Structure 1
Amino acid sequence: MRQVTVLGGCGAYPEPGRACSGFLVDWDGFRLVLDLGYATLPRLLTHCPDDAVDAVVITHEHPDHCIDLHGLFRMRLYGGGGHRKLPLYCTPGVLTRLGALEPEVELGMVFDVHELPGAYKVGPFELSCVLLPHYVPNVGVRLQAEQIALAYTGDTGPDPLLAELGRDADLYIVEATDRTGELQQVHRNLLASSEAAQWAARAGARRLMLTHFWPGNNRQAAVATARSIFDGEVLTAEEDLVVPLGSP
C-alpha cells in the first residue's frame, strides 16, 4: 500500500466526532505519522492496532498538532511489548512541552529524537523541511519516495517557500484555517482556503488537500473557493479518509 490516511483535520480543538491535525502515511508497509493533535491517537490505533508505526514527524509544538504524542509516549513506556525506540522528528519546542508533562521520565527512553528543520533519510522517504511563518517555529514537511512527493505545511502564513515545498507534489496537504479576519492581519500566521489553492497552483501540485479547519467553518465552501483557483483535485481532511499516493 502507498497511501495517506487522515487521522484528523480540525484546527485549535476538535469538533464533535472529529480530531485535530494528524496523518498516517503508509508506503509499502513503512508507516510514518505526520502530527498527532487532539483525539488522533485513538484513530491511529484503529489503523495500527499493534502500535507498529515506524516514525513520527511533528511540525510544531501547538497541542492541536502534538498533544497525542504524549499518549503514544505513555503507551510505549508503560504498555510493554519491548518496542525499539521510535524515531521522532520534531522542532525543539515539542520536546519542551512533552517534557513538561513528564518531567520525571526521560523522553529518550521511548524516542530517538532528530531535530527539525533538517534533512533525513526516513525509511523509504527523503524527508526535507522548511521553516514557515507561524506563532512558534513550524516546519513544512516534504516526503519524497521514488518519483512521488507528499508535502504538508503544518500551520503557516503566506510565504514563497510554500511553492517550493509543494513543487510537483502528488498530494499537497495545506492548512486552510479561514479564521474570521485572518486576511486583514498585518503579520500572517495562518492561511485562507483561497491562499491554500493559490500556493498549490504555484507549486504545480497534482492534488490539494485542505486541512486545519477552524471549528464551525463550512468545509464545502472552502472546497468551492479552492476549486475556483486550483485546477487539480481538491480534497478535505476528513477523518479516516484514505488517499492513494501515485494513483493515476
Structure 2
Amino acid sequence: MRLTVLGACGAWPEPGQACSGYLVEHDGFRLLLDLGYATLPRLLERIGPEQVDAVFVTHGHPDHCADLNPLLRARHLRADKPPPLPVYALPGALDPVLALDRPGMLDDAYVLHEFTAGDRLRIGPYEARTRLLPHWVPNAGVRLTAGGRVLAYTGDTGPSPEVVELARDADLLVAEASHVDEVPQDSVRDLTSARHAGRQAAEAGVGMLLLTHFWPGTDRTAAQVAAGDAYAGEVAAAVPGLVVDLG
C-alpha cells in the first residue's frame, strides 16, 4: 500500500499548497481520501482523472471535498467518458458540492454510496472500517486494510478515545494536527493539536505518525517536535508530493 500526499492544509490552502487530499494505491487500485481545495491539479500531475477508481470523503467541509466537482467535470466532459466513479460519503455530506453544476449535468459521472459511520465497506482491494469522530459536522475516520497493511486516517477530529481505537496497531496513522500545542478554546472539541496526536499515536501503538491538516502558518517542524515528545516512533509532516510506502 502506498500513500501520496496531495495537500495537507486546513481551512484554505497556503501559497503553492493544497488542502486535505491523499492518493492511496494498492494492486493498481487508486483510491482518493478526501479531495479539498487545490488537490486536483496535484493529482493530475500524477495520473489522469479517468484513472481514479474510487473516492472516500470523510466529511462535507469544502477543504476536504471541494475538488470533487472539477474531478467529476474532468471525467465527464471528455469524448471517452470513463465509467461512473464510486464515491463514498456520509448521508448529505456532498449535497452542496454535487449541486454546483446545473441539475443532472454530472449524474452519469458518479455513483454515490452513502454509509453510516461505523459501517464496514469493501472498496476495491481495501477493507474499510469507519468510525464517527467528533467535529463540527459528522466526520468518518477510516481504517484501510489491504495486503496485510493498515492505514488509519482521522479526517478532522477533536481529541477522542475513538481515534485510538481507529488507529490501534496501524502501520500508518494520518492524523489531523491543526495546531502545535494549544487548540483555541472555541475549537477544543473539534480539532486536535500535534502534541495530542502524538499521545494518541503512542497509545494506539502505530508504526508511523503522519501529521496533517495544518492551520495556515503552522510551523511543521514544531509540530513534529511536539508530537515526538509523546510518541517515540517516526513522525513526519505531510507536504504535497510526500510518498509513504507501507511495505
The aligned residue for residue 147 of structure 2 is: 146
Correspondences of 1:98-137 after superposition (within 5 Å): 98-105=97-104, 107-116=106-115, 117=117, 118-137=119-138
Relative to structure 1, is the Cα distance of residues 76 and 186 closer, same or farther in structure 2, using a 3 angstrom cutoff?
Answer: closer
State the secondary structure of the residue aligned to 2:45: helix
Correspondences of 1:1-248 after superposition (within 5 Å): 2-49=1-48, 51-105=50-104, 107-116=106-115, 117=117, 118-178=119-179, 182=183, 184-185=185-186, 188-246=189-247
State the secondary structure of the residue aligned to 1:97: helix
* 1:158-189 deviation per Cα after TM superposition (whole angstroms, max 9, x unaligned): 11111110011111000000178626448610
Distance 2:49 2:212 in 1: 27
Relative to structure 1, is the Cα distance of residues 106 and 241 closer, same or farther in structure 2, using a 3 angstrom cutoff?
Answer: same
State the secondary structure of the residue aligned to 1:225: helix
Distance 1:31 1:82 in 2: 18
Contact 1:174–1:209 under 8 Å retained in 2 = yes
Distance 2:235 2:98 in 1: 38
Contact 1:179–1:214 under 8 Å retained in 2 = no
Contact 1:45–1:51 under 8 Å retained in 2 = no
State the secondary structure of the residue aligned to 2:99: helix
Q: What is the TM-score normalised by the length of structure 1?
A: 0.94
Distance 1:193 1:5 in 2: 20
Moved more, 56-65 or 181-190: 181-190
Contact 2:76–2:106 under 8 Å retained in 1 = no
Contact 1:127–1:141 under 8 Å retained in 2 = yes
Structure 2 unaligned segments of length 5 or more: list them. none
Relative to structure 1, is the Cα distance of residues 93 and 103 closer, same or farther in structure 2, using a 3 angstrom cutoff?
Answer: farther
Distance 1:244 1:179 in 2: 26
CA positional deviation for 1:102:
2.2
* 1:75-128 deviation per Cα after TM superposition (whole angstroms, max 9, x unaligned): 122123221111111122332112331241265411111113321111111011
CA positional deviation for 1:50:
5.4
Distance 2:207 2:77 in 1: 42
Relative to structure 1, is the Cα distance of residues 186 and 19 closer, same or farther in structure 2, using a 3 angstrom cutoff?
Answer: closer
Distance 1:62 1:180 in 2: 23
Distance 1:31 1:202 in 2: 30
Q: What is the TM-score normalised by the length of structure 2?
A: 0.94
Moved more, 77-86 or 27-36: 77-86
* 1:201-241 deviation per Cα after TM superposition (whole angstroms, max 9, x unaligned): 11110000000000011110000111111111001111011
Distance 1:19 1:186 in 2: 22
Contact 1:129–1:140 under 8 Å retained in 2 = yes
Relative to structure 1, is the Cα distance of residues 195 and 78 closer, same or farther in structure 2, using a 3 angstrom cutoff?
Answer: same
Distance 1:33 1:195 in 2: 26
In angstroms, what is the RMSD of aligned CA positions?
Answer: 1.7
- Which amino acid letter does the alignment assign opposite residue 75 of structure 1? A
Contact 1:182–1:188 under 8 Å retained in 2 = no
Contact 2:49–2:75 under 8 Å retained in 1 = no
Contact 2:171–2:206 under 8 Å retained in 1 = yes
- Which amino acid letter does the alignment assign opposite residue 139 of structure 1? A
State the secondary structure of the residue aligned to 1:93: coil
